[in-house]
Structure 1
């Protein structure tokens, strides 16, 4: 795998080319924020119909789980066709139970917002994986390409053959098989997602013929004709062709749109890579990309059988464990570290900010290091102060000429007053035995009361001296 494939990603239109409503939506949600029972904390994708977020949900016994939220754009939330399409995606995916198909948890509404909650696959979609591989100049091994495409075919085959409760075939066609809808986890799992425009029977009022990504359309889909499972097989053929060639398949001519290029469906020959039994592999790709449906693989299972036979013959077999280890080694450590950091930040926010008491004159900071924690609307929220009980130091206004100092607790104050009284009596020739004094009320304090008591003791001493002299 060369860097050329990811070097030509699906172009992102400049801001001026994006409708104002869509530009507004991209900046409208300030993360983290709540949507129903979910806390959204990272936007991981967007499209013409919805934004996709990574979220946390509280579950029983105080636990949490990660999930993916697809929120319909606000201008489409009240569109009856969009609501029906989203409900159809939830209905179809809830019927499917396969390890290579992403599970849908629920469809919900929160105020004006309509969303779909889905299983979280920790990793990348194939488009992002190829982009990162190109940026890091990491070749994508052919054995992993064959394994990945094989897992996509397994998921499609299960969807194509799915039946209803009565045993009647549902006739599901995905219609949007592309790298953006192929999820790859750090465990080496490959899952197909986004059955939003899949057709099971007929969706009334929803024309899905021209929906999907033009760069991965079969010629019959680009022409708006009725589709069968072979159209999905053609899309898988495009993905395999691009993985082997290292570049995009469809190229629009000057003055031509990509949709028009997909209608022509001109398939160039794959460049030689010196692979074992290369002609056999290229023959599989050519059959998958046959422009006439009767010359194409009739089912995903038929293509899968030929691909597995080739991988076994050439010993280009790979396991999900090997694939997951390769992904983690080259791309996982940084991504996992970033996402774990975001999760810890969300946990701290959900617990609430904890203020740290600092000396007077310094700013109190929450535990997360921010001076003031902000909520989803960027409204400053004062930190919660932790109150520590302490003794109050009350200073009473002293009489004139008396030095001001900090008052003591009642026991220490009484001890010092008794000591002063003993010194005064000793100076007057009296016994230095301790004099018991009734404790004063807490409200009596300070040196004004102490001076009055000392004066009373001196007067009492003088009276006793006079009585003694008179006796």
Structure 2
């Protein structure tokens, strides 16, 4: 399927505002480069609000240029439809890796290296400056394992800045609705308080806790219960789940997961430095090749299937009786949900608040002094 200079060869997913495709762009030598095209849906292209929201993400995406952040090549318009062209990542998101790691554990230090590299990508975003030198104030807001992608070459990439907060974003639509996944929220994020980089550091603390514990922090708990425990600071301690965990790693988790933002790491770089220092002291020397080897082994079956589909499409072949574009498995996707939507991509279910009664919840939250400044 032709789309300007691109040939769309597979569907990667459909979000609230965008359709995402794997595409090939012809090179000068007759070859082709794979890219991911995120296209504003046709039925929304006439809406100035939706177009501005798309451009809002695009302005942020094109500024991010770091080895540990998914790269956006260009922003354009074709036939009246706006699109982003992004790098194609072949690999798997950390949530899928962690799931398979329960039956095939990662070699020592591999997942620590993934978390450290994710922190490097976040630090780049947090430190990004405007043309006048002022900090843009970017906060990812959803730096969960779903949005930490690891390639088969062992490179970790932060993806999905579609719901990110930045001081320069034209559409500030999240002031009163919590954005992201409840299981990966900072306490101040759940209450819609002003956010800064330390909210992302809390989320990476949850990610670190989970890869070390080998299970989800909030497994089998309702959103309501998670929200209550978040704001009370009633988090399960790492050594309660894993008594054998080295004290240094437990200490890193505890600091990243501090209830008050001022008690957390001041930057993602600081947290990363402590993880790397622990790895050095423990003799855990992990290269990208080590990471890539492990991920490639975990998903060897998926990788071959995906390569087969791509080869068929590039060769002009398709499955007998098929219509339209094939759907690729999510392991191959570079980003699927990074389009902002009128309602957040994964908002807290409003029924969570209704079920317990807003007065009960807010009374409990207000008991903590750090939340006294909550937006009324």
8 A Cα contact 1:89 1:194, kept in partner: no
**Cα shift at 1:112:** 7.1
**Cα shift at 1:157:** 1.0
User: What CA RMSD, in Å, does the superposition of the two structures yield over aligned residues?
Assistant: 2.8
Could you tell me how far apart the structure 1 residues matched to 2:89 and 2:204 are? 21
Could you tell me how far apart the structure 2 residues matched to 1:125 and 1:156 are? 16
CA gap of 1:254–1:151, structure 2 versus 1, over 3 A, is closer
What is the aligned partner in structure 2 of residue 301 from structure 1? Answer: 269
1:219 to 163, 187, 190: 187
* Corresponding position: 1:336 with 2:303: yes
CA gap of 1:197–1:321, structure 2 versus 1, over 3 A, is same
* Corresponding position: 1:228 with 2:192: no
Could you tell me how far apart the structure 2 residues matched to 1:177 and 1:374 are? 37
**Cα shift at 1:369:** 8.4
* Corresponding position: 1:274 with 2:274: no
8 A Cα contact 1:81 1:206, kept in partner: no
- Which deviates the most, 103-112 or 64-73? 103-112
CA gap of 1:93–1:377, structure 2 versus 1, over 3 A, is closer
What is the aligned partner in structure 2 of residue 175 from structure 1? Answer: 141
**Cα shift at 1:159:** 1.4
1:76-110 alpha-carbon deviations (Å, 9 max, x no partner):
55554443333222222212221111111223445
Larger radius of gyration: 1
Secondary structure (helix, strand or coil) at the match of 2:24 reads strand
Unaligned runs of 5+ in 1: 1-32, 354-367, 379-471
When the two structures are superposed, what TM-score results if normalisation uses the length of structure 2?
Answer: 0.76
CA gap of 1:160–1:85, structure 2 versus 1, over 3 A, is same
2:38 to 40, 50, 70: 70
Could you tell me how far apart the structure 2 residues matched to 1:369 and 1:84 are? 39
* Corresponding position: 1:139 with 2:96: no
Could you tell me how far apart the structure 1 residues matched to 2:116 and 2:107 are? 14
Secondary structure (helix, strand or coil) at the match of 1:62 reads coil
Could you tell me how far apart the structure 1 residues matched to 2:40 and 2:101 are? 30
CA gap of 1:369–1:320, structure 2 versus 1, over 3 A, is closer
What is the aligned partner in structure 1 of residue 130 from structure 2? Answer: 164
What is the aligned partner in structure 2 of residue 86 from structure 1? Answer: 54
CA gap of 1:212–1:75, structure 2 versus 1, over 3 A, is farther
Could you tell me how far apart the structure 2 residues matched to 1:139 and 1:297 are? 28
What is the aligned partner in structure 2 of residue 348 from structure 1? Answer: 315
Could you tell me how far apart the structure 2 residues matched to 1:272 and 1:369 are? 48
Could you tell me how far apart the structure 1 residues matched to 2:99 and 2:14 are? 17
**Cα shift at 1:287:** 0.4
What is the aligned partner in structure 1 of residue 21 from structure 2? Answer: 53
Unaligned runs of 5+ in 2: 327-376
**Cα shift at 1:330:** 3.1
CA gap of 1:107–1:214, structure 2 versus 1, over 3 A, is farther
CA gap of 1:374–1:268, structure 2 versus 1, over 3 A, is closer
- Which deviates the most, 168-177 or 54-63? 54-63
* Corresponding position: 1:311 with 2:279: yes
For residues 187-202 of structure 1, what are the structure 2 equivalents within 5 Å?
Answer: 187-202=153-168
1:153 to 88, 102, 119: 119
Q: How many equivalent residue pairs?
A: 322
When the two structures are superposed, what TM-score results if normalisation uses the length of structure 1?
Answer: 0.62
* Corresponding position: 1:289 with 2:257: yes
CA gap of 1:63–1:34, structure 2 versus 1, over 3 A, is same
